[in-house]
Amino acid sequence: MKPDPNDPRPPYLQVADDLRTSITAGTYKPGERLPSGRELARRYGVAPMTIHHAVGVLRGEQLVESYQGRGVFIADHASARRGGRRPGRAWQDPEIKTLRGDIDRLADRVAGIERLLADGKGRSADPP
């Protein structure tokens, strides 16, 4: 799966969503090591930094744990998330849920602005 250029979300969020789906579906089992960042970058057709950011999102959700020099592993409690259940009090906190929504909306706006600029629509008709 390569990130969809028409998707308003940044590529790292698209990659994080795809990896999250694989984890919650059981494609990757608890304790299993994810492929290397370079391998994931090749698989998704993105830069290694995009993978780094995507893994950071999953780490923040406590789906993966990373160990310097060893790699990124699926968290043992990740299987508890199947069916929408999330471990820990932080996932039930309405303020965090609100912040996540705000961040998603901001990411959508930034992606829209970037598309406008890339299409040349954000430029004025008369150069200065």
Domain ranges of the chain: 11-119
Which of 79, 73, 76, 81 has the alpha carbon at shortest distance from 55? 73
pLDDT at 121: 61
**Mean pLDDT per 10-residue run, the chain (128 residues)?**
91 95 92 95 96 95 91 76 45 67 81 82 55
CA distance 2 to 124: 33
Tokens standing for residue 25: 């579906």
| DSSP-derived 3-state class of residue 72 | strand
pLDDT at 127: 53
pLDDT at 124: 56
Q: Rounded to an integer, what is the distance from CA 20 to the centroid of its chain? A: 8
Is the full-model pTM beyond 0.85? no
Work out whether strand 71-74 and strand 64-67 pair parallel, antiparallel, or are unpaired. Answer: antiparallel
pLDDT at 84: 44
pLDDT at 89: 44
Which phi and psi angles does 31 have, rounded to 5°? 90, -15
CATH 1.10.10.10 fits 11-119, yes or no: yes
Which phi and psi angles does 65 have, rounded to 5°? -130, 135
CA distance 79 to 64: 11
Query: Which residues lie closer than 8 Å to 90 by C-beta, 6 or more apart?
Result: 96
